[in-house]
């Protein structure tokens, strides 16, 4: 039985980190990753595309912070996707702020490219286990 594909929206403004993350996430079979550079681009994409299974967002985007993006997604989508942070801002107070806003997890940067797919898999809905 084939595993269902998971759709991941990656919101990361650094093109090098984004490229490495996309390649790393594709190490997990059946993952489709759509990279975006800004919160505005991500919101536009979400308006016109099927809901992703996970939004993985940086915290310091060029046009807004990740919590603001998360709140915008939650307010615009009745059935909002799961959202996790992909950021270097991982002090306990930062991680608590993300969790209070509704994040399902935080992946620290710098990250291990070989371990990223497994970290993301753990954040996906259980149907993708």
CATH number of the structural domain spanning residue 115: 3.40.50.2300
Q: How confident is the model at residue 1 (pLDDT cuts 50, 70, 90)?
A: very low
| 2 lies in some domain | no
What pLDDT score was predicted for residue 5?
A: 84
Does the pLDDT value for residue 127 go beyond 70?
no
> How many domains does the chain contain in total?
1
| 35 lies in some domain | yes
DSSP notation for 72-117: HHHHH-TTPPEEEEEES--SHHHHHHHHHHT-S-EEESS--HHHHH
| 104 lies in some domain | yes
Cα–Cα dist 105/23, whole Å: 21
Q: Which of 7, 4, 37 is nearest to 25 (CA)?
A: 7
| 98 lies in some domain | yes
What pLDDT score was predicted for residue 2?
A: 47
Q: Which of 80, 116, 108 is nearest to 92 (CA)?
A: 108
Name the H helices within 15-91. Answer: 15-25, 39-48, 66-76
| 5 lies in some domain | no
Phi, psi angles (nearest 5°) of residue 40 = -60, -40
| 4 lies in some domain | no
- Centre a 10 Å sphere on the Cβ of residue 7 and count the other Cβ atoms it contains: 17
Q: How confident is the model at residue 126 (pLDDT cuts 50, 70, 90)?
A: confident
pLDDT digits (tens, 9 = 90+) for 54-95: 999 999 999 999 999 999 999 998 889 999 999 999 999 999
| 1 lies in some domain | no
| 93 lies in some domain | yes
Determine what percent of the chain is predicted with pLDDT higher than 70: 95
Range of 115's domain?
Answer: 12-124
What are the b/e assignments for 76-102, b being 16+ CB within 10 Å?
Answer: eeeebbbbbbbbebeeeebbebbeeee
Does the pLDDT value for residue 115 go beyond 70?
yes
């Amino acid at each position: 039985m084939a595993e269902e594909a998971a759709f991941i929206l990656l919101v990361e403004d650094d093109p090098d980190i984004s490229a490495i993350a996309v390649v790393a996430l594709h190490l997990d079979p059946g993952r489709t990753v759509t990279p975006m550079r800004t919160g505005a681009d991500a919101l536009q994409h979400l308006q016109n595309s099927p809901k992703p299974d996970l939004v993985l967002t940086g915290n310091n985007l060029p046009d807004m912070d990740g919590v603001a993006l998360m709140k915008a997604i939650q307010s615009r989508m009745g059935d909002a996707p799961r959202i996790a942070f992909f950021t270097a801002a991982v002090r306990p107070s930062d991680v608590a702020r993300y969790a209070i806003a509704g994040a399902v997890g935080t992946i620290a940067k710098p990250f291990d490219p070989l371990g990223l797919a497994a970290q993301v898999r753990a954040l996906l809905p259980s149907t993708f286990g």
